[in-house]
């Protein structure tokens, strides 16, 4: 039986590409050149499935332009807000993602952002790298300790719960806000807040882990930032769209927010130029899931989901 054709839109780790070539007629992107929207229908001609990436904007017009042969889209990400799932469903295209396997890596990265921002690690690294460090002094780069602090987590999903586990090693008091309260056995002592006001007032350190989309766009705006304790630290390893950049930059300049650590940006790879002017912000290039083991696991899970959907079964990672 002939293997189905799979279009892979970005270069993936070698083990994932080898698996794709084993199980499918894989059209790989060896140059890792982003595929423009108007190129996708041509490249997908005759393909039964597409293994896409978060950088691919699969909105309704893009999905409508795909050849009829495309029956499945797998995304190399847990988030799927870059895919118009309603339009995919209307076209009869099934969608799967990569949940769970990246939770630990992303939570680790969130803790890295918290520590680096609070302890001014970015400033220190730049000081040494540019040969401007003149030696130890008692008042140099005094930061904020995180041990024993109140950590607010927006979105207590898999990643938020992994961050909770890590933060308990620092004896942090965990507060969280989500659309619903977790069962007690999953809370494990974390304090639930049903409203923004009490949640933000408790958050000396705020870590964002909510999904993207219209419902959460610019959730962290000027009004909510004002509810944080003065000198709060903010980390975002979720979605750039969660943050109103102008509002956060203003708060960083005023000192109401002492520091921030960001791994994601609205309109990335473009970064708001205001951040580049600030010393009290740590900027990383979307590294949340960037460990080799995690990216392999993501690719294998996406390929498993695509294969199952093409074979008529519904895998656990099916979105639509």
Residue 126 designated active-site: no
Which residues fall within 8 angstroms of residue 96, CB to CB, at 6 or more apart? 72, 73, 74, 75, 302, 305, 306, 308, 309, 315, 317, 318, 319
Catalytic residue among 100, 268, 272, 318: 268
Residue 27 designated active-site: no
Range list of H helices, the chain: 14-23, 40-43, 60-65, 85-90, 103-118, 121-129, 158-168, 184-187, 196-202, 222-227, 245-254, 273-276, 292-310
Beta strands in 28-71, from DSSP E residues, in sequence order: 49-52
Catalytic residue among 10, 193, 239, 295: 239
Per 3-state DSSP, what percentage of the chain is helix, strand, and coil (rounded to 5)? 35, 15, 45
Residue 239 designated active-site: yes
Catalytic residue among 91, 218, 286, 318: 286
Residues acting as catalytic residues = 239, 268, 286
């Amino acid at each position: 039986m002939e293997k189905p054709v799979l279009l892979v839109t970005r270069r993936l780790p070698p083990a994932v590409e080898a698996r794709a070539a084993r199980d499918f007629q894989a059209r790989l992107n060896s140059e890792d050149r982003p595929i423009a929207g108007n190129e996708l229908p041509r490249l997908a001609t005759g393909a039964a499935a597409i293994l896409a990436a978060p950088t691919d904007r699969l909105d309704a017009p893009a999905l409508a332009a795909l050849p009829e042969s495309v029956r499945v889209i797998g995304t190399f990400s847990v988030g799927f807000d870059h895919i118009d799932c309603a339009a995919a469903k209307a076209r009869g295209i099934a969608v799967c993602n990569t949940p769970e396997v990246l939770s630990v890596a992303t939570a680790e990265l969130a803790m890295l952002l918290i520590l680096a921002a609070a302890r001014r690690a970015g400033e220190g690294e730049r000081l040494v790298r540019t040969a401007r460090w003149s030696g130890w002094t008692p008042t140099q780069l005094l930061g904020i300790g995180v041990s024993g602090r109140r950590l607010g987590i927006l979105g207590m999903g898999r990643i938020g719960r992994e961050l909770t586990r890590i933060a308990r090693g620092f004896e942090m008091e965990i507060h969280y806000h989500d659309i619903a309260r977790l069962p007690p056995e999953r809370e494990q002592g974390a304090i639930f807040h049903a409203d923004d006001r009490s949640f933000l007032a408790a958050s000396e350190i705020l870590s964002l882990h909510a999904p993207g989309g219209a419902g959460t766009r610019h959730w962290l705006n000027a009004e909510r930032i004002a509810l944080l304790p003065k000198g709060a630290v903010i980390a975002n390893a979720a979605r750039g769209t969660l943050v109103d950049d102008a509002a956060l930059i203003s708060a960083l300049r005023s000192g109401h927010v002492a520091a921030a650590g960001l791994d994601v940006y609205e309109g990335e790879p473009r970064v708001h130029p205001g951040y580049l002017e600030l010393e009290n912000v740590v900027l990383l290039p979307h590294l949340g899931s960037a460990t080799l083991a995690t990216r392999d696991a993501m690719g294998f899970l996406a390929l498993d989901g695509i294969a199952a959907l093409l074979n008529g079964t519904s895998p656990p990672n099916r979105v639509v």
